[in-house]
Amino acid sequence: RLNYRCKPGGWITVELVKERSAVSPDPDPVEGFSFAESDRLIGDEADRVVTWNGKSDTSNIGSTVAIRIRMFQAKLFAYKI
């Protein structure tokens, strides 16, 4: 869930990545949860559920992931996992 505000034309996308390791300092995204599959967030929301291709269920991806966020003309105030 994100609390954010985008200016007109602004957006946010989210990617989930596998656990970072010394062997792979730039890990690959979790399958199905990449920036390309992220539904673009726009507008002004206090508690928006992030989705990927319309789906938000992350229960089957494991317990250790990291979040990457891309933003353009946007402010992120808070996130909740």
Arithmetic mean of pLDDT, 61-68: 85
Beta strand 2-18 with 65-79 is antiparallel
Percentage of the chain beyond pLDDT 70 is 93
**Over the stretch 35-47, which tens digit does the pLDDT of each residue have?**
999 999 999 999 9
Give the separation between CA 31 and CA 34, rounded to whole angstroms: 7
Return the sign of the alpha-carbon dihedral for residues 41, 57, 18, 67. Answer: positive
pTM (predicted TM-score)? 0.87
pLDDT of residue 25: 67
In the sheet that holds 65-79, the strands lie side by side as 44-48, 2-18, 65-79
